[in-house]
Structure 1
Amino acid sequence: MSPLAPPMPEPTFAQINGIRMAYYEAGPRVGTPIVLCHGFPEFSYSWRWQVAALAAAGRWVIAPDQRGYGLTERPDAVEAYDMEHLTGDLVGLLDHLGVEKAVFCGHDWGGLVVWQMPLMHPARVAGVVGLNTPFLPRMPVDPITAFRHAYGEDMYIVHFQKPGVADAQLAADVEKTMRYFMRKPAGQQAAFTSGKDQRPSLALQDGLARYEPAADDSQLLTADELKVFVETFQRTGFTGGINWYRNFVRNWERGEHLPVRVDGVPCLMIMAEHDVVLPPSLADRMNDQISDLEKVLVKDSGHWTQQEKPEQVNAILIDWLGRRFPN
């Protein structure tokens, strides 16, 4: 039987960077806080195990619902989800809390955001933790052109650029969608194969159309945990999160003059052995681009590492914070 997930703290709300943001805070307000930034399709609840463990270890921990997700507002304009807004929300959260600097920890899309923080807002960053998501230098061409050239129109990020299409497909049966995404490594691997020949594929929308939940024995979440995700996305839909993807080109264009290295802050990269989306090999060059970096591999984990292997992730975070940011 899976252990019972710890409850999240009660949400707190604040007007931040033009939106009403929800965030969850735990632990003593001492030392350098750690801000946990979720990915897609998740929200703050994906950090439930880390919020509890970090607070119990005496750490000040903050987990926001980022814009477009959970209890936080969802602006209509696609441009409201660009990297300037996403990083600006985190700066605004620090301002609201009266905090000068924080350690920013991000998974999946949240990882892309936190690696931009020392480039765009270096004065507010004490440290960075990438969970599954490595630091990725700016591409020589815009990402959507590159993805389209490499993988074709059906690659899910290219597919996400079509207004309303993926939004409707994911929202048509939210329970099926969340079961499709939230799977253990074998199920995640299956999500990235196509057709009878099992060729590698990034056409997730096709995989979702073929997916039969009743035949799936690779579920990651308990029934109660799945219910939290399903009820939340039934209420919010997926457009807010997909709009982050619709800013790939805008972010690429506006990031032309940003630094290309992360220097001057301690960084930690937590890799997952069986992540199909973000394999450990993507982190191979990070030591050339970051002056102060530690890397740790979590074995037998797929993409949802903080939920798949919470005890290992918690131990890694608590050890690193204790060494680099003693209270």
Structure 2
Amino acid sequence: MADIHQSDYKQTTTKRGFTYSYYYSAPAPGKPVLFFSHGFPSASFLWRKQVAFFQPLGYGIIVPDQLGYGGTDKPTDPKLYVGRGLAEDVRDILDAEAVATVVAIGHDWGSYLVSRLLHYIPQRISAVTFCDVGYLPAEPGVTLISQREALIKLIGYDAFAYQRFFTQPDAAAIIEKNIDSFISMLYPEKPELWKENMCADGAARAWIESNTITALPSYLTPENKETIRNSLLTGGLAGPLCWYTQQLEQANIDEDAKLPAAAREFKHPLLFIACTKDYVVLPVFGDTSHGKYAKGPVTRKEIDADHWGADVACGGGE
């Protein structure tokens, strides 16, 4: 994070036995604690500018490297990345800092985690913000990959086709070998390239195996790219890709099936930040989910940005 060094991070070992690395700053009297949850493929670095903005205002801050990333443990068994276990890890981090409740803020797979916090530890959450990726309820037997036909009917193309590559046994090695091509695919200067190179079967694999590289957006500076690159190569892609393979293997079914249907609904205040130039996670996905499950106050904001809109809005850059 900008102006925040690794020496500022703390570590705690959760009841599941995983050591998490996280940044923590205590709140000023009367101020809430903000919990920032990153997704794929970045670590806590995603939220560096949000930390720089909110911390001087007195807000408490907790920003972990999620399981598989950064200074946190990196198991390679997808079943260890299921929602209930991840939520309990977060509970243990909050307990380590004696934090009763947090405003939970998620982006990408971080939104999946925030959704599971609402399922499994709702009493520890005071409000939620979903950045680009909206609320993802636990629906046993339903995964992003399994919704191919429904997606094509709704938006005209297979938005999550790239995930079929990400869940293949050789994906981590291919990405690590061609890491600059991978970063180029995920951070194109022209966001509409995602429809061509990530939303068609085989296209993502073909892009990376051919080591294709295109121009990067202005917000992804050479320094930021190098931070992402080094983080992924140091820890490897096997852990981060488990966030995808756990859903392909439907590792969540046993736990999620135990949840009563009412547990998918929530009354916590919700802020949804929709990115209008994301061609994979369209705003309609979040809007539909929130209309069905969010029973409390909902605030919706749009920004004219791609999937990595945190860079455009107020920093970050996953």
- Offset, 1:133: 1.2
Is structure 2 residue 94 aligned with structure 1 residue 88? Answer: no
Is structure 2 residue 291 aligned with structure 1 residue 287? Answer: yes
- The 1:241–1:278 alpha-carbon spacing in structure 2 relative to 1, beyond 3 Å, is same
Is structure 2 residue 126 aligned with structure 1 residue 120? Answer: no
Is structure 2 residue 14 aligned with structure 1 residue 11? Answer: no
Q: TM-score with structure 1 length normalisation?
A: 0.82
Matches within 5 A, 1:1-327: 6-9=2-5, 10-17=8-15, 18-26=17-25, 28-30=27-29, 31-139=31-139, 141-143=141-143, 146-147=146-147, 155-163=161-169, 165-184=170-189, 186=190, 188-194=191-197, 200-201=199-200, 203-210=203-210, 212-213=212-213, 215-218=214-217, 220-248=219-247, 249-258=250-259, 259-285=262-288, 286-310=290-314
Q: Aligned partners of 2:253 and 2:312: how far apart in 1?
A: 32
Deviations 1:276-296 (A, max 9, x none): 121111122313311123233
Q: Aligned partners of 1:231 and 1:145: how far apart in 2?
A: 29
Unaligned runs of 5+ in 1: 314-327
Q: Is the 8 A contact 1:273 1:297 kept in 2?
A: no
- The letter for the 2-side match of 1:16 is T
Q: Is the 8 A contact 1:38 1:106 kept in 2?
A: yes
Q: Aligned partners of 1:160 and 1:221: how far apart in 2?
A: 23
Aligned to 2:155: none
- Give SS of 1:67's match: coil
Paired residues, number = 299
Give the percent of matched residue pairs that are identical in Structure 1 and Structure 2: 23
Which stretch of the first structure deviates more once superposed, 84-93 or 201-210? 201-210
Deviations 1:232-276 (A, max 9, x none): 111001111111111111124421232354323212111111111
Q: Is the 8 A contact 2:34 2:61 kept in 1?
A: yes
Q: Is the 8 A contact 2:140 2:256 kept in 1?
A: no
- The letter for the 1-side match of 2:21 is A
- The letter for the 2-side match of 1:293 is P
Deviations 1:109-150 (A, max 9, x none): 000110121111122111111111112344474427724666
RMSD, aligned CA: 2.6
Unaligned runs of 5+ in 2: 153-157
- The 1:260–1:162 alpha-carbon spacing in structure 2 relative to 1, beyond 3 Å, is same
Q: Aligned partners of 1:76 and 1:145: how far apart in 2?
A: 20
Deviations 1:53-95 (A, max 9, x none): 0102221111100111001111232211111221111111101
Q: Is the 8 A contact 1:269 1:293 kept in 2?
A: no
- The 1:136–1:276 alpha-carbon spacing in structure 2 relative to 1, beyond 3 Å, is same
